[in-house]
Amino acid sequence: MEGTIDGFRYGVVTPIAAYVMACLGGALGLRCIVRSLINGPAWKPGWLALGAVSIGCGIWTMHFIAMIGFQVEETRIGYHVGLTVLSLVVAVVVVGIGVFVVGYRGAGGAVLCLAGSVTGIGVAAMHYLGMAAMQLNGSIGYDPATVALSVLIAVIAATAALWAAVTIRGFVMSLGASLVMGVAVSGMHYTAMAAVSVHVHGTMSSWAGDTPTSLLLPMLIGPIVFLVLAGVVVMFDPLLVLGDGEWNPPAGTGRAAPADQPSRRKATGRSWSSG
């Protein structure tokens, strides 16, 4: 028989919490990528890696916080530990690929499309791998058209996020981009969940899965702690909260450092006195 699916078991609590984590991961990731643009080559890989892990952890945490609110009334739901951890690894790795590509190659059209497609498909793979980790007394089906739409949303969201990472420098603009990114990632998740149907088996089968609260809540602690620590790094780095004009004056303009101005005046003064 068809199972009765409820994706909002705790009302708006889980969607809001999931959205906040997606925004937090996106905001930290974008600011870390911006930081990589103002450091020498020696520091760039570290900042890019920190940004990739922040975004990856934010997306993964968003997914499984949202899944805490998912239930099928006719059966318990458990999660396979190995597949759940693997989905986190996939999220970080695929985001890292996109971040490093645009971090070193820029946001040109072809590069951005390639990096965004790889990252978006990887994010969708993380989602469906996390769904494959579910264990229940039944089988899960998907509507192909809705699945395709969710993948398309993931690709568009990833491409936009990577573009923002290397294009938007100001703190306020990065914050706005992270809010939009949170909407896109959460939208991808709930679009994908709209594709789900569950056929419940007639008899209860035995399985070795953990309940959502016994597995997901402890596993979420690690990524959340990481995001908090990454946030501390951002808060105590003044260059990460300054606008673009404060630390990155456009090349070829007259906006030189203040220290340069007295030297030019002195040089001008000497030329007048010599005349």
CA-nearest of 128, 137, 22, 138 to 83 is 128
* CB 75 within 8 Å of CB 199: no
Residues 6+ apart with CB under 8 A from 103: 33, 36, 44, 48, 165, 166
- Interior CA angle at 69 toward 68 and 70, to 5°? 95
User: 252 to each of 21, 167, 249, 255, how far by Cα in Å?
Assistant: 40, 18, 9, 8
Q: What pTM, to 2 d.p., does this model score?
A: 0.76
Distance CA(33)–CA(52), nearest Å, equals 8
Residues 66-80 as b or e (16 or more Cβ within 10 Å = b)? bbbbbbbebbebbbb
User: pLDDT tens digits for the chain (275 residues)?
Assistant: 777 888 788 888 889 988 988 888 888 888 788 777 776 677 788 888 888 888 888 898 898 888 888 888 888 888 888 888 899 899 999 999 988 988 888 777 888 888 889 888 888 998 999 899 888 888 889 999 999 999 999 999 888 888 887 787 676 777 788 888 888 889 899 999 999 998 887 655 544 445 555 556 666 676 777 777 666 666 666 555 544 444 444 444 433 333 343 443 444 444 434 44
User: 75 to each of 1, 7, 80, 143, how far by Cα in Å?
Assistant: 12, 14, 16, 21
Distance CA(6)–CA(204), nearest Å, equals 20
* CB 75 within 8 Å of CB 138: yes
- The distance of Cα 72 from the centroid of its chain, to the nearest Å, equals 28
What pLDDT does 203 receive? 57
What pLDDT does 153 receive? 92
CB atoms within 10 A of CB 206: 5
Q: What are phi and psi of 243, to 5 degrees?
A: -75, 170
Distance CA(27)–CA(151), nearest Å, equals 22
